[in-house]
Structure 1
Amino acid sequence: MKTLGLFRHAKSDWHDAVARDFDRPLNGRGRKGAKLMGRHIREDGRTWHRVLASPAVRVAQTIEIAGEGSKSRLPVEWDRRIYLASSATLMDLLREQEGDPGAIIMVGHNPGFEDLIFDLVPEDGQDALRNIVEEKFPTATYAVLELEIDDWADVEGGCARLVHLMRPRDLDPALGPKASPRED
């Protein structure tokens, strides 16, 4: 069995006049959400053997803020392919992992993460966590999947169970949805 964590970047600043989407930073709400979710991920107590992340500014800031106060930090493996990747690309990245880590956490973007969950976790209509993801996989959400595989090379559709899902609003209702034109 393998464990896959997905941590979507925190809320970004759509009002920042950066030239490229890639360079968009977190806003104040995003910084609060990243800190809160970083604490939750530590308290969740899982051991991650590898961190794969998009090098986008908002992802790097999410990792930095979420990791504050952590006693041990794994080196981050930055991979540009994660930036706005499709589910198929994310699965390919997992399949090529070497050294057979038991648990990988990816930090990146939607819609790729949401679609990856839909592809890996079979739909049976009874999975309450998957049903929440069908509604929305908001910024700074943390999900954990258990994959019924022995090697990352064997990742395929339908091989996982979603065993944990936490959104910032679950820990602090003030970080819930706001009436805004963009929810990224």
Structure 2
Amino acid sequence: MSSAEPRRIVLFRHAKADWPQVADHERPLADRGRKDAAVAGLKLAETGIGFDLALCSTATRTRETWKIAVQELPHRPKTIYEERIYDASPGELIALLNEIPDDVQNVILIGHNPGIQGLADVLSVAAEPEARERMSRRGFPAAAFAVLSFDGSWKSLEPGTATLLDYWAPSE
């Protein structure tokens, strides 16, 4: 891969979770969440992005979302379950992304709101108009994802350095 090739980051919010009497971190997916995670996986495959790395929150609902979605991808990337993603702010997520080695080209980050939506907003000053309009109209519901692109090293990723290329959310 050429160093001049733009890097891609997909910010993927976990699918709809259930509300049983368990700690928030341990909440599983609801039936609808399992269905939406599979559809999201198909949509992720349609992007044509070959992920080199998946960074996934340790929360049950994010692990379950990723386990279902990744089955739809043509290639299963290396997955790191990272506890720092749970309840992280956009700044904390940027710091985590800054740690990625430069031989990694494309990353998917599976996490939670408000951090995922905030990160998409903070990183992407530039945007494809249709993607920005869809994300602005829909917000960032469960199982939604945003595709961003940027040039440079992972250490150089900071607010305003990425472009929002695409956005998808399940239908209500």
Using structure 1 for the length normalisation, give the TM-score: 0.84
Q: CA deviation at 1:123?
A: 6.7
Asked if structure 2 preserves the Cα contact closer than 8 Å seen for 1:100 and 1:151, the reply is: no
Asked if structure 2 preserves the Cα contact closer than 8 Å seen for 1:143 and 1:162, the reply is: yes
Secondary structure of residue in 2 paired with 1:105: strand
Map 1:55-134; keep pairs closer than 5 Å: 55-122=58-125, 127-134=129-136
Q: Based on CA coordinates, which of the two structures has the bigger radius of gyration?
A: 1
Counterpart-to-counterpart distance in 2, 1:45 and 1:151? 22
The equivalent of 1:51 in structure 2 is 54
Q: Judging changes above 3 Å, is the alpha-carbon distance between structure 1 residues 71 and 103 closer, same or farther for their aligned structure 2 residues? A: closer
Unaligned runs of 5+ in 2: 1-5
Alignment coverage as a number of residue pairs: 166
The equivalent of 1:160 in structure 2 is 162
Secondary structure of residue in 1 paired with 2:134: helix
Unaligned runs of 5+ in 1: 170-175, 177-184
Amino acid at match of 2:21: A
What do the CA deviations read for 1:49-106 (whole angstroms, capped 9, x no partner)?
1111101000010011112354531231011000121000000011111243111110
Secondary structure of residue in 2 paired with 1:144: strand
Identity %: 36
The equivalent of 1:172 in structure 2 is none
What do the CA deviations read for 1:106-139 (whole angstroms, capped 9, x no partner)?
0111111111111111178x83422433341010
Q: Judging changes above 3 Å, is the alpha-carbon distance between structure 1 residues 123 and 70 closer, same or farther for their aligned structure 2 residues? A: closer
2:147 matched to 1:144? yes
Using structure 2 for the length normalisation, give the TM-score: 0.89
Counterpart-to-counterpart distance in 2, 1:105 and 1:69? 14
| Structure with greater proportional strand content | 2
